Every structure is written in C-alpha cells, then in structure tokens.
Amino acid sequence: MRPQGNPTISFAPAGVSRREFITGSAAIAAALGVSLTSVAEANERRQEAAKDTRPVRCAFIGVGDQGYNVDFKAALSVPGVKMAAVCDIYKPYLERALKDVPGAEGYDDYRRVMDRKDIEAVLIAAPLYMHAPIAIAALQSGKHVFTEKMMAYTIAEAKAMARASLSNKTPSGGKLVLQIGHQRRANPMYNHAWELINQKKVLGTKGILHARAQWNRNGSWRKPPLPGMDDRHRNWRMYADISHGLMSELGTHQIHAVNWFVGAPPVAVVGLGGLDYWKDGRTIKDNVEVLFEYPNGVKLNYTSLTTNQYDGYYEQFMGKDGTLVISEEKETPAAFYREPTAAAEDWMKNSVTGPQQGKHHEVGLKLDPEATKKIAGPGVKIGEKTFAGGSAGKSAYVLEMEDFFNSVRTGAPVTCDWREALACTVAACRADEAMDKHTRIEIPASDYTL
C-alpha cells in the first residue's frame, strides 16, 4: 500500500500489481532522491543559513502584472538581493520597474541578459510559453533560475529545463538551482494542513481518500488592453497554442497541493471542458471539469468555471475520519470537519482557535488561520518544513523568494523543485489532452522522469 507519512513523490499506475507498484514506487523515489531524513537535514541547514545575506546579483525578466506587483516586490524584500538587470518587451512596464531599481540596466531582449557575467540568478515572470526558452538560456549561461508557474507549456519543455539545470554548472562549477513558483509549498498554513493530514492523521490512518478542488470565477478572465500591446501578448492566457488556460494558470496551483498532500502525482485523468460562453476570439476552454486518479483509488475532482463564482476557490481533502478544507473564506481559511463516526483527539483541543460548524452539522474545528504567528519565535518546524526565526509577517511569496535565494547561497534544496513542477505540468497537459480527445488518459510513468 501507499507508504504512510512518506512525502516522497511516488505513484502506482492503475492496473499494475501491488508488487510492480512497490518496485516502481521505490525506483521513482530513488530517482527523485528525496526522503524524509534528507529533507529534515536540509531544513536544518536552511535555518542555519537564514542569516546569510551575501549579495546576489539578479536579472528579472517579465515585469507585468504578476511579475512586477508580486514577484519583483517579493524578491526585493529579501536582504542582499541586487537587481542588476530588468527585461521586458513592453517599454512602460520596463520603465516602471527600473524606477524602483536605479542601478539596474534595462533590456528588451532576454538573450542579451544572458551575456552578463555578473548576474548570478534570473527570475522569470514572462508568459508561460516563454518560460522554457528563457530558463534554458539562463541555465546554459550558468545562472540559477526562479520561474513562475506553470513550469512550461509542454512536458518536453519542462523536462528540457530540468535537464539544463542538471547538466550545466555555475561559473565556479557549482550546482544550479531551479525553483518553480508554486508558492503553496512555502505557505505556513499549507504546511500546517500537510502536518495534520500526514503526521497527525486527522483524516484517518489511511489519509486522503478523495479530494475536491475548484477555482470558480464569474468574469471574462480577460485583461484590459494596454496601449501598444497586441492581444496575444496581453491576453496570452486566452490562446490554446501558448497556454493551457484554466488548467495551467489556476489548476496547477491546486493540483500541486493535492500531489504534495497525497504524496504522489496522478496516474490517469478524464475530463470534460469547452469553450461554451466567452466566445470572444479566445481558443482556450472557459470551463473545465476533470477527474484525476491517484494511486490506491484516491481521486481528485477538479473544477474551474468562469461563469459562476459560487464557493470561489478551495481545496478539500476527505478521509474516513474527516474533511480538511483550505479556501478563500476570510474568517476561516482553513477548517477541519470531523465525521460523526470519528473520535475527537487531544491535539484538537490545543490546535484550534474556535469551534466551527459544518454545513451538515459535522463537528468542525477552525484551524489556526494565522499559522505565521507560530514562527515569531526562534523558528519552528511545521510538517516537514522548518520556518526560520523572523518569519512572522512574511507572505508566502516572500517566504518562497527567501527559500530560492537561500538555495542559491547555500545549495539547500529548493522549495518547489523540477520534480514537483513537472508533475503539475504533466497534470495540466494530460488533462487538456483528455478533454480534447474525450477519452481517459493513462499517464505514462515516463512523464514524470527525465
């Protein structure tokens, strides 16, 4: 059966025997080279290194909405980060960012940034289809890379990025860091939830049996036009030949959380989706309903709509003893609902901030919604992640960037590495394929390895 409490990514393709599954799982685990022990050791090192503020000279490529307002600012909240170059093809964006970093040089061609010998790390928030070309160029020129999620537009591109990170070295011969921006990994609340499910077993000894996730909105999802920018550049998320739309831009954040919590990526997928409402020239689907199958019969029911926002977004983990929900609910961003058949555990009395009633009168408990307050002291371990002292008040974006620069400085394992990010890319691409072909896709094991 699935190894309990082991966060290693492993999977059993549907239909294979138990023996084959175990063999395959062990092989994959070995290939991925991750174990609890090494993660814990790495976290120790990470905590030690948290005080390291050695200057790191960076280039930031793509300073648009998310790039500038979130990632650029988060990177510049990390001590020692020096922005030496900024690159964007849209001049007003470039000028806006350069105003903040007067010492940096501006570029409109990312390839010229790679020639800069003084730059150690490249941060990428360009459109999805540009992640691979830019990241590979950066890795080939010996620069560490942080790129926004999803990792790449195709599985092959994502693998090429991973290979480039493994086969190239820093100018001094060191290992290259490649981190992808699925920031839930750096979020204390998600780590808290992981701990409850995988270590405290609040859902029962068999853990997650089913998962549901959705990201529903009511709106065109279209960005308003910017003067001088054509729609493919402005609304690249709308075009199926360069984006997987809802699956890549919204879905992979949530699928990442499910993969992480379940401890394995999906083995098969079926789905229905279509372009049924916003027929405004876009080519992506405006609604997706996908079922992912995980090892041991665990299933994820994933929905993303653009014509109805009821219940917004959430990730819901269901086990024999209860349900854990993480949502955009302001007052209760995370809650646990105990099944009437399950016994209350002692930890619940200490871990909660107040009672919470479920919709159908389940006994519910509101999980600590301010988990970051726990890290005001000298540092604390939540689940498998150690948050350094002084983490209080940091958003997941800032924590994620701190982790990246910590890895650059010390070689510590990254927060979301290519293995996890590749698994998300596989999920989005295979889901799109299943919807397009109206068929069940068995995800080959080879998708998850290089």
Which spans of this chain sit near other proteins (rule: CB under 8 A)?
Answer: 65, 69-70, 72-74, 76-80, 92, 96, 100-101, 222-227, 370, 372-373, 376, 390, 392-396, 398
CA distance 219 to 143: 39
In the complex, what is the shortest distance from the CB of residue 280 to other proteins, in angstroms, rounded to a whole number?
A: 11
In the complex, what is the shortest distance from the CB of residue 219 to other proteins, in angstroms, rounded to a whole number?
A: 9
In the complex, what is the shortest distance from the CB of residue 77 to other proteins, in angstroms, rounded to a whole number?
A: 5
CB closer to other proteins out of 103 and 297:
103
In the complex, what is the shortest distance from the CB of residue 65 to other proteins, in angstroms, rounded to a whole number?
A: 8
Residue 225: CB atoms within 10 A of its CB come to: 11
CB closer to other proteins out of 161 and 367:
367
In the complex, what is the shortest distance from the CB of residue 287 to other proteins, in angstroms, rounded to a whole number?
A: 22
CA distance 201 to 258: 16
Closest CA to 331 of 363, 354, 361, 360: 354
In the complex, what is the shortest distance from the CB of residue 70 to other proteins, in angstroms, rounded to a whole number?
A: 8
In the complex, what is the shortest distance from the CB of residue 410 to other proteins, in angstroms, rounded to a whole number?
A: 18
Residue 68: CB atoms within 10 A of its CB come to: 20
Task: Count the alpha carbons within 13 Å of 377 in the hemisphere toward its beta carbon.
Answer: 6
CB closer to other proteins out of 388 and 412:
388
CB closer to other proteins out of 26 and 376:
376
Q: Are 120 and 408 in contact (CB under 8 A)?
A: yes
Closest CA to 215 of 252, 260, 184, 189: 252
CB closer to other proteins out of 97 and 162:
97
CB closer to other proteins out of 10 and 235:
235
CB closer to other proteins out of 225 and 274:
225
Matching residue, tokens 């084959």: 20
CA distances from 62 to 125, 266, 448 (A): 5, 31, 28
What residue type is 53 in one-letter code? Answer: T
CB closer to other proteins out of 120 and 417:
120
Q: Are 88 and 97 in contact (CB under 8 A)?
A: yes
DSSP β-bridge partners for residue 273 = 288
Closest CA to 287 of 223, 231, 215: 215
Three-state SS at 160: helix
DSSP β-bridge partners for residue 355 = 365
CB closer to other proteins out of 393 and 444:
393
Greatest Cα pair distance in the chain? 63
In the complex, what is the shortest distance from the CB of residue 259 to other proteins, in angstroms, rounded to a whole number?
A: 24
Q: Are 297 and 14 in contact (CB under 8 A)?
A: no
In the complex, what is the shortest distance from the CB of residue 300 to other proteins, in angstroms, rounded to a whole number?
A: 27
CA distance 325 to 328: 10
Closest CA to 375 of 204, 104, 186, 208: 186
